[in-house]
């Protein structure tokens, strides 16, 4: 399905959908807890539906309550063997792998074609060092089969994706002995802090160095059932923040936690540095106003903690004046697509001057984009970024494969329409 979008002004107020990262963590931890947990305001998307399917394969009973909350009854015992299909959800694949490694039955993981090209060799190697048996047709990629339990010991892992470490942190407390993890490389640190917040809130014992380069986790621990409410997703909100930036409009987004550990929260100071005004209007709502159109400022921005913001900030940089560098984000190449290359191709197709480096995008903005056709690459964040590009373009922008937004944000286009205004030419 292709979608053509036209230049528009933006103004208005929306309530943000729930965090995908938090919803998936809640579902998986509840499945390995002892008893019934309840999750309020869970995200409804293809990724979270895939996670629910995985949890049910482990034996969990998941019931949708009258207020759309999810009641999760953890299994008393796990099946003798388990096969799970994670669909397109990389977060589910990585985190479920860590938890599945704690149980003494074979668990086979697969996913769609795109997911089968997501690398996790470092994670599987680390699990092997901690006592887990691993079999894979293509080493380091799905489909693969693991069999626990995690017996403990010491491992060293380079975390090109933070989800490698999060997977170990979730699984190791359920192992039989103490595990020690050395982490010489760690990208996306805020997402590890999100995981350790879950461990803290659920009383899991572990030790972490201040630099987050060593973790020690006691074994034979238990996840207790819990109740939680999922806050709005900063990754999804970033597209609406940037819609104001590229058009010179004002957008208020509600349902956000200002103290959330989500890395993409840091897009707000980036937009301030580019000339936007950011104001918290109450404890859960933030208002972003862009400067006069064509007046955004360029800069150098380190995106290691928020790689998902790369596509939409690359778009925003096209509407700035001068050279913008989006740096230190090598992990953007191992997402649903190689987002560094894909965004360069798309923005060049729309008339921008863009260069790519091994771990960066360099955008030479002149305050505008001509528009034209571009590709979605089957990647929800690229599709949404190109939709934001269309708002300020001189001509319409046509994006193919737009149905992929349902992976994390099925209501994206309807919310975008809610704040969009036709441009009236005098």
Average pLDDT over residues 314-325: 98
The CATH code belonging to domain 20-215 is 3.65.10.10
Domain residue extents for the chain: 3-17+232-420, 20-215
Q: What is the pLDDT of residue 423?
A: 52
pLDDT at 424 over 90: no
DSSP state of 33: B
pLDDT at 186 over 50: yes
Q: What is the pLDDT of residue 248?
A: 96
pLDDT digits (tens, 9 = 90+) for 106-146: 999 999 999 999 999 999 999 999 999 999 989 999 999 99
Q: Which residue in 103, 105, 150, 98 sits closest to 122, CA to CA?
A: 98
pLDDT at 101 over 50: yes
Distance (Å, rounded) from C-alpha 306 to C-alpha 249?
24
pLDDT digits (tens, 9 = 90+) for 295-316: 999 999 999 999 999 999 999 9
Q: What is the pLDDT of residue 359?
A: 97
CB 12 within 8 A of CB 39: no
Average pLDDT over residues 190-200: 97
Q: What is the pLDDT of residue 1?
A: 79
CB 384 within 8 A of CB 312: yes
Distance (Å, rounded) from C-alpha 191 to C-alpha 160?
13
Distance (Å, rounded) from C-alpha 206 to C-alpha 217?
4
Q: Which residue in 32, 39, 46, 179 sits closest to 97, CA to CA?
A: 32
DSSP SS3 for 252: strand
pLDDT digits (tens, 9 = 90+) for 246-268: 999 999 999 999 999 888 999 99
Active site residue 213: no
Distance (Å, rounded) from C-alpha 91 to C-alpha 103?
20
pLDDT digits (tens, 9 = 90+) for 11-69: 999 999 999 999 999 999 999 999 999 999 999 999 999 999 999 999 999 999 988 89
In this prediction the pTM is: 0.94
Catalytic residue (choose from 308, 338, 359, 400): 308
Domains 3-17+232-420 and 20-215 share a fold: yes
Please tell me the CATH superfamily of domain 3-17+232-420, with its number.
Answer: Enolpyruvate transferase domain (3.65.10.10)
> Element (H or E) spanning 156, and its range?
strand 153-159
pLDDT at 88 over 70: yes
pLDDT at 426 over 80: no
Q: What is the pLDDT of residue 425?
A: 41
- pLDDT class of 422 with cuts at 50, 70, 90: low
């Amino acid at each position: 399905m292709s979608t053509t979008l036209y230049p528009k002004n933006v103004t208005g107020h929306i309530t943000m959908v729930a965090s995908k990262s938090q919803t998936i963590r809640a579902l998986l931890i509840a499945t390995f807890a002892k008893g019934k947990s309840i999750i309020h305001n869970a995200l409804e998307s293809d990724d979270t539906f895939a996670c629910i399917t995985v949890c049910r394969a482990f034996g969990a009973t998941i019931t949708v309550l009258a207020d759309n909350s999810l009641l999760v009854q953890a299994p008393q015992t796990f099946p003798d063997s388990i096969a799970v299909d994670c669909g397109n959800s990389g977060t589910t694949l990585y985190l479920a792998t860590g938890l599945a490694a704690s149980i003494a039955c074979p668990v086979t993981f697969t996913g769609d074609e795109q997911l089968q090209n997501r690398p996790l060799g470092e994670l599987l190697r680390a699990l092997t060092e901690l006592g887990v048996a691993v079999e894979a047709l293509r080493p380091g990629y799905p489909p693969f089969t693991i069999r626990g339990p995690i017996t403990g010991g010491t491992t060293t892992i380079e975390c090109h994706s933070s989800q490698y470490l999060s997977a170990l942190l979730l699984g190791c407390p359920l192992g039989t002995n103490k595990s020690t993890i050395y982490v010489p490389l760690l990208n996306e640190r805020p997402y590890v802090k999100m995981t350790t917040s879950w461990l803290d809130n659920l009383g899991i014992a572990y030790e972490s160095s201040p630099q987050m380069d060593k973790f020690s986790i006691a074994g034979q621990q238990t996840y207790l059932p819990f109740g939680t409410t999922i806050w709005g997703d900063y990754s999804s909100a970033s597209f609406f923040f940037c819609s104001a930036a590229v058009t010179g409009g004002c957008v208020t987004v509600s349902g956000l936690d200002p103290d959330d550990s989500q890395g993409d929260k840091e897009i707000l100071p980036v937009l301030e540095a580019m000339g936007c005004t950011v104001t918290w209007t109450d404890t859960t709502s933030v208002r972003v106003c862009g400067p006069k159109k064509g007046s955004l400022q360029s800069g150098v921005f380190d995106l290691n903690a928020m790689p998902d913001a790369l596509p939409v900030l690359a778009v925003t940089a096209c509407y700035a004046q001068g050279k913008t560098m989006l740096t230190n984000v090598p992990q953007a190449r191992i997402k649903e697509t190689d987002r560094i290359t894909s965004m360069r191709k798309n923005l060049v197709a729309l008339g921008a001057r863009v260069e790519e480096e091994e771990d960066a995008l360099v955008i030479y903005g002149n305050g505008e984009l001509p528009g034209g056709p571009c590709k979605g690459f089957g990647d929800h964040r690229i599709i949404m970024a190109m939709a934001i590009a269309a708002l300020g373009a001189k001509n319409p922008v046509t994006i193919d494969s737009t149905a992929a937004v349902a992976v994390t944000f099925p209501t994206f286009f309807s919310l975008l329409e809610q704040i969009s205004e036709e441009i009236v030419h005098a």
